């Protein structure tokens, strides 16, 4: 077997749906811009995690992905770094609204994602703001008005702000659903669907989930277009 086959088998990586590119087994393989590789080097990371290795080349082809993997597998940078590359390609003005929208189930998770985006996107001059419930809207709206390339949000608060017409989705071309199974468990499906209905259909969608029950399969089927399904390890 080839070194790629050995790698995939060793890390229990499977990818199905169309022609799947080979994983990036090293950071050099990624061809990421130097300012991004520098931040990865500063963080002291030695190699991509299996989910990063397999999803990065697929995401860079602008394809939809549903990735099923346990927590702690490096999913955040799995989508954030392709998001930075996406932003660099689009060169949109964040004053006109976000280009990347990340949905996450909780305030804690959303702020962790924002922290990671600001840390690893610093040299790329990525701007990122966070919207979540349980805190007054006024400060969040003010930050949003300043403009952000990436908006990380919980579905409830984002849906409120959308109904107030205080966010413009016209530039959104990359949508990420992080911890999709947990968002559904929390009852966010109606808000997620309302939000996604307002996003231009010509978008790339990346969905991450730790489990793969029928509710998650259903929403993946509705929101993703010809996705590549990537599984890491044995998941139910
Ligand atoms: P998940 O979302 O899959 O639960 P995270 O994205 O939160 O996982 O990542 C878990 C931890 O691994 C974080 O501290 C993150 O900074 C770190 N990490 C991410 N990618 C790598 C890598 N390639 N090498 C080492 N550590 C990494
Ligand atoms: Mg995560």
Instruction: Measure 71 CA to ligand 1 centroid, in angstroms.
Output: 9
User: Is 48 near ligand 1, meaning CB less than 6 Å away?
Assistant: yes
Query: Is the complex ipTM higher than 0.95?
Result: yes
Ligand with an atom nearest the CA of residue 70 = 1
- The reply to whether the predicted model has a pTM over 0.90 is yes
pLDDT, tens digit (0-9, with 9 covering 90-100), for 57-99: 999 999 999 999 999 999 999 999 999 999 999 999 999 999 9
The pLDDT assigned to 222 comes to: 98
Position 236 pLDDT exceeds 90: no
Tens of pLDDT along 151-205? Answer: 999 999 999 999 999 999 999 999 999 999 999 999 999 999 999 999 999 999 9
Closest CA to 148 of 170, 128, 131: 128
- Nearest-angstrom CA–CA distance, 46 and 25: 11
Check pocket membership of 44 for ligand 1, CB cut-off 6 A: no
- Can you give 9-34 as a three-state secondary structure string? HHCCEEEECCCCCCCCCCHHHHCCCH
């Amino acid at each position: 077997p080839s070194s790629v086959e050995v790698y995939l088998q060793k890390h229990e990586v499977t990818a199905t749906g169309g022609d799947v590119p080979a994983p990036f087994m090293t950071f050099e393989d990624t061809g990421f811009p130097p300012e991004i590789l520098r931040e990865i080097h500063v963080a002291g990371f030695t190699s991509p995690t299996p989910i990063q290795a397999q999803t990065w080349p697929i995401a860079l082809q602008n394809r939809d992905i549903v990735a099923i993997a346990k927590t702690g597998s490096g999913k955040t940078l799995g989508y954030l770094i392709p998001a930075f590359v996406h932003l660099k390609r689009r060169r949109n003005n964040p004053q006109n609204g976000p280009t990347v929208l990340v949905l996450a189930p909780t305030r804690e998770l959303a702020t962790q994602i924002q922290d990671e985006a600001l840390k690893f996107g610093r040299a790329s001059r990525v701007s990122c703001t966070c919207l979540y419930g349980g805190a007054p809207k006024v400060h969040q709206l003010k930050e949003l008005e300043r403009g952000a390339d990436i908006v990380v949000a919980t579905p409830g608060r984002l849906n409120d702000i959308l109904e107030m017409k205080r966010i413009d989705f016209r530039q959104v071309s990359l949508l990420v659903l992080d911890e999709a199974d947990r968002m559904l468990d929390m009852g966010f499906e109606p808000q997620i669907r309302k939000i996604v209905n307002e996003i231009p259909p010509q978008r790339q969608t990346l969905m991450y989930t730790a489990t793969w029950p029928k509710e998650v399969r259903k929403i993946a089927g509705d929101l993703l277009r010809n996705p590549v399904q990537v599984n890491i390890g044995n998941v139910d």
